[in-house]
Amino acid sequence: MNIVKAWIRSFAPANRKEASDSIVDNLLLHWFPNKVFRRSYAFSYSFWLGTIAMSLFVIMAVTGVILMFLYIPSVERAYWTMKDIDYVVSYGWLLRGVHRMAAHFMVAVVFFHLVRTFYTAAYRSSPKMVRADRRVNWIIGNALLILTLALSYTGYLLPWDQLAYWALIIGANVAQSTPVIGDTIKELLIGGTEIGQSALLRFYILHCIALPLLLTVGFVFHMWRIRKDGGLACVDSAVEGSGEITTEPASDKSYLLLGAPAETRYTVTTSAFLHPKNFIQGNPHVVKRVLWVFTGTLALTVLFACLLKMPLEAPANPAVAPNPAKAPWYFLWLQELIADTTVRIGSLTLNGGFIGGVLIPTVCVLALAAWPYLDRSPPQAIGVWFHRSRWLQNAVFTLVVLAILALIYVAAFLRGPNWILYPPGVPWPLEPPIL
Partner 1 sequence: MHENPSSDTQISRRSFLRRGGLAAVFVALVGEGYAMLRSLVPNVLYERPKQVKVGRPQDFEEGGTFLEDYNLFVFKEKGAIYTISSVCTHLGCNVKLHLLPKPRTVELGGKRVSESFEFACPCHGSLFHSDGSVLKGPAPKALPRFHVALSPKDGQLVVDTGRQVDTEFRLTLSA
Residue numbers at the binding site for partner 1 (CB under 8 A): 166, 169-170, 172-174, 177, 184, 187-188, 191-194, 196, 198, 318-325, 335, 338-342, 349-353, 357, 415, 417-420, 432-435
What DSSP letter does each residue of 36-66 carry, written as one string? EEGGGG-HHHHTTHHHHHHHHHHHHHHHHHH
Number of other CB atoms surrounding residue 20 within 10 Å? 17
Q: What is the DSSP letter of 312?
A: -
Contact present, 74 and 232 (Cβ < 8 Å):
no
Contact present, 57 and 106 (Cβ < 8 Å):
yes
Number of other CB atoms surrounding residue 48 within 10 Å? 21
Closest separation between CB of residue 1 and partner 1, Å? 53
> Maximum Cα–Cα distance for the chain, whole Å?
102
CA 327/CA 164 separation, integer angstroms: 9
The four Cα atoms 54, 55, 58, 60 give a dihedral, to 10 degrees, of -110
CA 434/CA 111 separation, integer angstroms: 41
Contact present, 261 and 244 (Cβ < 8 Å):
no
Please give the single-letter amino acid code of residue 371.
W
CA 276/CA 143 separation, integer angstroms: 36
Contact present, 59 and 102 (Cβ < 8 Å):
yes
Contact present, 147 and 215 (Cβ < 8 Å):
yes
Residue 13 or 353: the one with the smaller Cβ distance to partner 1 is: 353
- My answer on whether omega of the bond before 284 falls inside 30° of 0, hence cis, is yes
Closest separation between CB of residue 356 and partner 1, Å? 8
Measured CA distances, 207 to 40, 83, 204, 254, 344 (Å): 33, 20, 5, 51, 37
Angle at 108 between CA 103 and CA 114, to 5 degrees: 125
Closest separation between CB of residue 194 and partner 1, Å? 5
